[in-house]
């Protein structure tokens, strides 16, 4: 067994051991990281490919294969296949080597690895989100969910509103009987029609509770909040 064959066997064993170890540690609570293992395994695969090509084509000075360049390309391809990064990964690998001649091989390897990975499965980080049951939005939600429901089917009836000049008792009744987070504030129109209202704004449940606490002396059935007893917006928030 010559030296190159021994190196190939050593790299093959190193790849298997690292893949087995990082399969167990990826996604666990241990702060082990994923970037360095992906670069390491990809570099081993790339160098192994370069060594095998060297065994196939020979070792003369005219057909010598640079195993280091193959290691760099393998690291970029493996990382792109797992993480689906493209432009940023290419820039990172180019900055690491400071060799512009490696730009095209790295770009080709990254694009091919990402395309192959997309055909097989989603990225590792996507899989970890699913395993940890972390909610995330799909890129394209089903169109039926956007078309079928109507606003009148979602909203509660009748609309719970707060009128300007309502007493504190009506506020407390609304807070007790509903669990809404925000209430529209309306006022009567100036055209003399009492059935016509204008939306003046909105107020949150939290702001209503703060107002009741700040003005505890107004907790009377017929009491109204005075304009002179206003509090600042910062106090409400």
Q: Domains of the chain: which residue ranges? A: 3-131, 150-236
CATH architecture of 150-236: Roll (3.10)
pTM: 0.51
Cis link prior to 216 (omega < 30° from 0)?
no
Q: b/e for 201-214, b at 16 or more Cβ within 10 A?
A: eebeeeebeebbee
Cα(67)–Cα(101) distance, integer angstroms = 16
pLDDT of 86: 86
Residues 6+ apart with CB under 8 A from 45: 15, 74, 78
For the chain, what is the mean pLDDT?
75
Q: What is the dihedral of CA 113, 39, 3, 62, to 10 degrees?
A: 50
| Helix extents (H) in the chain | 3-25, 35-57, 67-83, 87-97, 103-120, 124-131, 143-147, 151-154, 168-177, 205-214, 233-236
What residues pair up with 197 in beta bridges, in sequence order?
Answer: 188
pLDDT at site 176: 86
Tens of pLDDT, residues 115-151: 998 888 888 778 777 777 777 766 665 666 566 667 7
Task: Name the β-bridge partners of 201.
Answer: 185
Distance CA 169, CA 224 (A): 9
Which own/partner contact pairs does 25-29 have at CB distance under 8 Å and 24+ positions apart? 26/124, 26/128, 27/128, 27/131, 27/132
Determine how β-strand 182-188 pairs with β-strand 162-163.
parallel
Is the Cα dihedral 61, 62, 63, 66 positive or negative?
positive
Q: Which positions of the chain have pLDDT values less than 70?
A: 1-9, 11-12, 15-16, 18-19, 21-27, 29-32, 58-64, 137-149, 190-195, 215-237
Q: In this structure, what DSSP letter does residue 148 have? A: S
């Amino acid at each position: 067994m010559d030296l190159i064959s021994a190196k190939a066997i050593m790299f093959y064993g190193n790849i298997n051991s690292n893949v087995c170890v990082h399969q167990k540690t990826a996604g666990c609570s241990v702060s082990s990281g994923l970037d360095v293992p992906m670069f390491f395994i990809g570099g081993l695969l790339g160098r192994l490919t370069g060594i095998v090509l060297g065994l196939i084509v020979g070792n003369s000075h005219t057909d010598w294969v640079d195993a280091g360049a193959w290691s760099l390309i393998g690291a970029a391809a493996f990382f792109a296949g797992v993480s689906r990064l493209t432009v940023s990964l290419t820039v990172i690998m180019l900055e690491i080597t400071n060799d512009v001649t490696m730009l095209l091989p790295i770009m080709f390897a990254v694009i091919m690895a990402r395309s192959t990975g997309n055909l097989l499965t989603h990225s590792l980080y996507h899989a970890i989100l699913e395993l940890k049951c972390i909610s995330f939005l799909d890129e394209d939600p089903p169109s039926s969910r956007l078309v079928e429901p109507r606003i009148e089917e979602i909203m509660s009836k009748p609309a719970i509103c707060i009128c300007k000049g309502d007493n504190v008792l009506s506020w407390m009744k609304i807070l007790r009987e509903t669990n809404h987070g925000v209430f529209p504030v309306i006022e009567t129109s100036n055209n003399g029609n009492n059935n016509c209202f204008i939306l003046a704004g909105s107020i949150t449940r939290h702001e209503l509770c703060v107002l009741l606490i700040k003005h505890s002396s107004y907790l009377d059935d017929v009491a109204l909040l005075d304009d002179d007893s206003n509090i600042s917006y910062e106090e409400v928030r």
